[in-house]
Amino acid sequence: MRIAVLLDHRWESGVKTFSIGVLLSFLKLKELLKLSLGDTEIDFYVMTFGPNDNVEYFKVDFNELYELYKNRDIKKIIELANKENYASISKQIRLDDILEGLDNSDFVFITNVGFAVYNNSLDKEDLDRILSNNRKRTYMLMFHTDYAGNFLYNLIEFINSGKLKSISETTKNKIYSLLSKKIKQGYMTDEDQRELMRIIEYLSNSNTEEAIEFRNEYSWWLDEVRKYIYTFGKLTRLKNVINLFPTHIVSDSNSRFIKNVIGSNIKKKEILHEPMFMILLNKYYKEEIEVYKNAYLEEHYKDNKINLLYVGRNSKEKGIDDLIRLFEDLVKGGEDIRLIIVSPDFGKDTEEYKKLEEIVSKYGRGEVHIYSNALGNSLHEYPLYYIALLKALGEKPTIYINPAYTESYGLSTLEALIFGKLLVIYRDVDGLSELKERGYLNYQTAFRTYEDLVKLTKKIIEEIKEDIRNGRYDKIENEEIKNGKYDKYVNRGAIERLEKEVDPEELAEKYKEIIYLAREYEKIIHNESESKYNNNSEAQSEEIEAVA
Amino acid sequence: MALDDVVKNGLIGLSMDTNLGQQVYTATINALANAAAAFMQQFSIQLDPNINKSLGYIINGFNIYSARNNINSLQLYTDMVNMYKQNISQNNTSNIYLLSRLLIENYKKLGYPDPITGKREYATRQERETAQNIANMIGELLGQSLTQYYNSIGRTDVTLSQIMININEYASAFYGAYKGAIDQIGAHILLLTPDISLLKSATGLMSTLDEMYISSIQGLISALYSKLPIPEALSPILNALGQKEVYNNIFDEMTRKIRNYIGQQVSQPNIQQPVPVPIQQNQPVAQPIQQVNQPNILPQQPGNQLQQNQQNNQFQQQFQLIVPPPHVIRPY
């Protein structure tokens, strides 16, 4: 058995975080497969950006990582993956080497369905070769986001950037209307998705002034959309592909989108939690985290000031404007609250930083704490600090806010739930809606519009103030209170279950099942195709697939 | 005569030329001295807690917990360093302890388990290749040092070949002394105070110092080896450095540098990092090193009550430096 894993490490984002979790799952998987299928060869390939924005490919020494894993040296593994991009244990290879490696594998896992996008070294022919239909192997591909929603937010950002001087009111209204419908409904209907594609097609092909201007500014984006669509088209034609989604909502939205654009649909779908590497850090380095937690509590968060915590990129689609507006409205209304921002890109030169400075100085109250790579105090470089901060805030009056307009999975939200058991106020959209339906997020703390967000936050702040007056946060020696047993907004039971479900070592069992089933399925297909009576293989394949 | 013999005989003939020998020796030593100095210069950056964040956090933790327990941190640090040295660096045997430790560290890189904890260590292919060469050389040196030692205490029957048969056993036993030194320091702390936090931060500080010391010697040997990759030529040079107390002096200098920060607040490194997205290449993200002025701090005098009080007053400010502090925006 030979498994190849292609990791997309080109961006510091959820895609990379996912791939680190996948690495830990595959290390456990090697152990599991050894017991059931004998020795399994696992090849790890990584793609990153080179110095000139070209994509470079590397082969990682998986056995080296496995040696570390046997000692449960999780910190070292994560450091190699996260900080180094595996540099010291990988060697640069050519794209052809990867193509050959994938050709010779029985099972190929690609951690990002967008692996071919932004990729100027990978041609259409290479993509065809990677996703070939020769049935020799099975593919598993991860969809991270709701692509229709994503494209819509891209368009909104382009309009808001001010670069499109000729954009007509009609086009603007069409796009804004799709956004408000999505916010209202929590998802995009088939008709809305088709309308979105009509707008994109119009901007791609029309000779109107606004479309020409759009192409001049954003032809790279149109090219990107085309590449996605080409990849989706390939996936609909392949039978031996397992399409992996983090939530049912993302699965449903993408499936409908692909059907609406391509005309046919992807076949096999699996909904599986994303493995969270921080779970293993929390499992194996509890003592060290405790020291850091106490440091945060004793110095920075000793008082009982109400904290609003935001974790995420500094970007419009993550709802950063709503967050700042909320902070301003609360401070303006007399609340002396503390906004804590954990974000990779929140430097002093950003518009948002300046706005926060202005708010605090204008009203003479409120406080902002920022942890950011751009300010030299990142918590994610050494993630134990981040886990410790969440745990510390879990013992203090803290509200986690997720105002994102699009969220495929909500990894940071899940981290806040698991490590801090925090009360989460979230926009009821996409993956977050599903987390609510599955019971991890409390249904009373969901909102859709900004007005609802303000109303809800004010209501909860009043309740927390009452709790503070009643000594809720002073009685931390009382374990039951400390652990939030009486918090009506935190679904503790579900969160404890969730902690196991996102554990990379537990998820390895699921991957094993998928690989095992795929292998059995391929055997059936193989036997059938060798049959001399197989004169209608397509029909028979469908039949076998249905049985399987 | 075969061609190889022509060349070989020619070169062997040169070995009688003492003038040439002196020239080669001087050139070699100069090249080694430059390589060693370059390595140490680079390495010494790690000793600055204003740049080496994790060292800064450890020192701050030690300062804070000492103050919390009304213990003079500088005195405690001095005691810990002395205890460490007593265990592993007595004058006539220090080479044996150090070489044993280095040998085991190289074995660990080659995949052998730690003789005390049984844990295996990670090493890259390149590190393993170097470790193999250095381990052979260190093993030989250790054998020689042990033989000399036994001969010096009257055991003239002991020979190098006898020692070399069980060299791993000898090395493992002396290697244990390092772990023993840290444990002994831990016991000393617990006799002063029941505070587990001080125990952890103090032993953490000494373990860090220990690791840095060993890694500096390892790095030094690797740097020398890269210039002179002939084990039988490098081995006597390493031996001579040991005789001249160079390794002990490195340790003393390291502890002295760190001593400057004991009882003092280490400022947060002012490192502005670039916005990290997207990653541009598959290379380790180099830590941007910004030269931060060394604080002009006099070592705290033991028993100086005034400074002790000041230290207690700084307690709150210092504590924040154990973890990355938030960047705060407050009303003016």
- Pick A374's closest partner by Cβ from B120, B275, B326: B275
Contact at CB, A371 and B324, closer than 8 angstroms: yes
Q: Is A535 helix (H, G, I), strand (E, B) or coil?
A: coil
Q: How confident is the model at residue A133 (pLDDT cuts 50, 70, 90)?
A: low
Q: Which residues in chain A are contacts of B323 at CB distance < 8 A?
A: 292, 295-296, 385, 388-389
Q: Which of A64, A92, A299, A345 to mutate against chain B (most B CBs within 10 Å)?
A: A299
Do A290 and A409 have their domain in common? yes
- Provide the shortest C-alpha distance from residue B184 to chain A (in Å): 22
Place of tokens 């002012």: B270
Residues of B in contact with A51 (CB under 8 A): 280-281
Contact B120, A71 (CB under 8 A): yes
Would an 8 Å CB–CB cutoff place B278 in contact with chain A? yes
Q: Which residue in B has a C-alpha nearest to residue A92's C-alpha? A: B282
Q: Do A51 and B331 touch (CB under 8 A)?
A: no
Asked if A23 contacts A62 with a C-beta cutoff of 8 angstroms, the reply is: no
CATH, residue A494: 3.40.50.2000
Q: Give the tokens for residue B2.
A: 């075969």
Would the pLDDT of B157 be above 50? Answer: yes
On whether residue A393 sits in a domain, the answer given is yes
**Quick one: tokens of A471?**
């000594």
**B173 alpha carbon, distance to own chain's centre:** 20
Q: Is residue A412 part of a domain?
A: yes
Which chain B residues are within 8 Å of A338, Cβ to Cβ? Answer: none
Report the half-sphere exposure of A457 (CA within 13 A, side-chain side).
33
What residues in A contact B120, CB-CB < 8 Å? Answer: 67, 70-71
What strands, in cross-sheet order, belong to the sheet with A90-93? A90-93, A55-60, A41-49, A2-8, A107-110, A138-142, A241-245, A268-271
Whether chain B has a CB inside 8 Å of the CB on A133: the answer is: no
> A379 — contact with chain B (CB < 8 Å)?
yes
Q: Please tell me whether residues A457 and A533 are part of one structural domain.
A: no
One domain for residues A264 and A376: no
Assess B117–A contact: CB distance below 8 Å, yes or no: no
CA distances to A296, B48, B189, B203, B318 from B184, rounded to whole Å, are 31, 27, 9, 10, 27
- The pTM score is 0.66
Residues A289 and A334 in one domain: yes
Residue B278 has pLDDT above 50, yes or no: no
Distance from CA of A240 to the nearest CA of B (A): 32
Give the percent of chain B with pLDDT over 90.
Answer: 18
Q: Identify all chain B residues contacting A367, using CB atoms and an 8 Å cutoff.
A: 328-331
The boundaries of the domain holding residue A306 are 277-499
Average pLDDT over residues A445-451: 94
Nearest CA in chain A to B111: A67
**Are A135 and A171 in a shared domain?**
no
Same domain, A328 and A464: yes
- For residue A348, give the DSSP letter: T
A369 and B326 in contact by Cβ < 8 A? yes
pLDDT at B313: 38
- pLDDT(A145) > 90: no
Residue window 389-448, chain A: list those with CB within 8 Å of chain B: 389
Look up residue B87 and give its DSSP letter. H
Structure tokens at A88: 């010291």
In tens, the pLDDT along A208-260 reads 999 999 999 999 899 989 999 999 998 998 878 899 999 888 899 999 999 99
Q: Which positions in chain A touch B125 (Cβ < 8 Å)?
A: 61
User: Is A446 contained in some domain?
Assistant: yes
Write out chain B residues lying below 8 Å of A90, CB-based. Answer: 282
A373: chain B residues, CB-CB within 8 Å? 273, 275-276
Q: Are residues A46 and A139 in the same domain?
A: yes
Judgement on whether residues A309 and A407 belong to the same structural domain of the protein: yes
Give the distance from residue A62's alpha carbon to the nearest chain B alpha carbon, in angstroms.
12
The last residue of one of the domains, among A475, A499, A523, is A499
The DSSP code sequence of A78-144 is HHHHHTSTTGGGEEEE-HHHHHHHHHT-SEEEES-TTTTTT-SS--HHHHHHHT--SSSSEEEEE--
Q: Using CB atoms, pick whichever of B282, B326, B327 lies closest to residue A85.
A: B282
Residues on chain A touching B329 (C-beta within 8 angstroms) = 353, 356-357, 360, 367-368, 370
Q: Which of A9, A345, A385 sits opposite B323 (nearest CB)?
A: A385
CB contact under 8 A, A368 and B329: yes
User: Exposed, middle or buried: residue A233 (CB in 10 Å: 0-12, 13-18, 19+)?
Assistant: middle
Min Cα distance B28 → chain A (Å) is 31
> Are residues B275 and A345, on separate chains, in Cβ contact within 8 Å?
yes
pLDDT-based confidence at B226, cuts 50/70/90?
A: confident
Q: What is the DSSP pairing of strand A307-311 with strand A398-402?
A: parallel
What is chain A's Cα-based Rg? 24
Same domain, yes or no, for A258 and A375? Answer: no
**Alpha helix segments (H runs only) across B153-195:** 160-165, 167-192
A368 touches chain B (CB under 8 A): yes
Q: Which whole number is the average pLDDT over B278-296?
A: 31
Nearest 5°: phi and psi at A519? -65, -45
- A96 and A22: one domain? yes
Taking contacts as CB-CB distances below 8 angstroms, the residues of chain A near B285 are 83-84
Residues of B in contact with A73 (CB under 8 A): 122
The pLDDT of residue A279 is above 90: yes
For residue B299, the model assigns a pLDDT of: 30
- How does residue B267 score in pLDDT terms, banded at 50, 70 and 90? low
Cis peptide bond prior to B278, omega within 30° of 0: yes
- A375 at B interface, C-beta within 8 A: yes
B4 burial level (CB within 10 Å; 0-12, 13-18, 19+) = exposed
Q: Does B297 touch chain A (CB under 8 A)?
A: no
**What tokens appear for B55 in the block?**
């060292």
Residue A380, domain member (yes or no): yes
Q: pLDDT tens, A294-341?
A: 889 888 898 989 999 999 989 888 999 999 999 999 999 999 999 999
What token pair was written down for A201?
A: 């097609």
Residue A168 lies in a domain: yes
Whole-number Å distance between alpha carbons of A260 and A194: 6
pLDDT digits (tens, 9 = 90+) for B7-66: 888 888 887 788 888 888 888 889 899 888 988 888 888 888 887 777 887 888 888 889
Average pLDDT over residues A83-88: 84
**A170-179 confidence digits (pLDDT tens):** 999 999 999 9
A68 and B CB contact within 8 Å: yes
Cβ–Cβ gap A345/B280 under 8 Å? no
Helical H segments across B228-270, by residue range: 231-243, 246-259
Residue contact A88–B200, C-beta within 8 A: no
Strand A338-342 vs strand A55-60: parallel, antiparallel, or unpaired?
A: unpaired
β-pairing verdict for A423-427 and A138-142: unpaired
pLDDT at position B309 over 50: no
Which residue in the set A11, A84, A389 is minimally distant from B277, CB to CB?
A: A11
Cα distances (angstroms) measured from residue A457 to each of A242, A400, A428, A472: 41, 10, 15, 19
Q: Would you call A86 and B326 a contact, using CB atoms and an 8 Å cutoff?
A: no
Residue A86 · residue A80 · CB < 8 Å? yes
**Domain boundaries of chain B, sorted by first residue:** 24-261
**Structural tokens at position A470:** 């009643």
Question: Helix, strand or coil for residue A202?
Answer: helix
Is A255 within a domain? yes
For residue B52 the two structure tokens come to: 């080496």
A41: β partners: A2
Using one digit for the tens of pLDDT, what is the confidence trace for A333-352?
Answer: 999 999 999 998 899 999 99
pLDDT of residue A536: 47
Considering only CA atoms, which of A34, A236, A262 is closest in space to residue A139?
A: A236
Both A478 and A436 in one domain: the answer is yes
Contact A381, A352 (CB under 8 A): no
What is the rounded CA–CA span in Å between residue B106 and residue A490? 51
* A334 and A281 within one domain: yes
Choose from B62, B196, B330 for mutation: most chain A CBs within 10 A. Answer: B330
- Quick check: B143 pLDDT over 60? yes
What total number of domains does chain A contain?
4
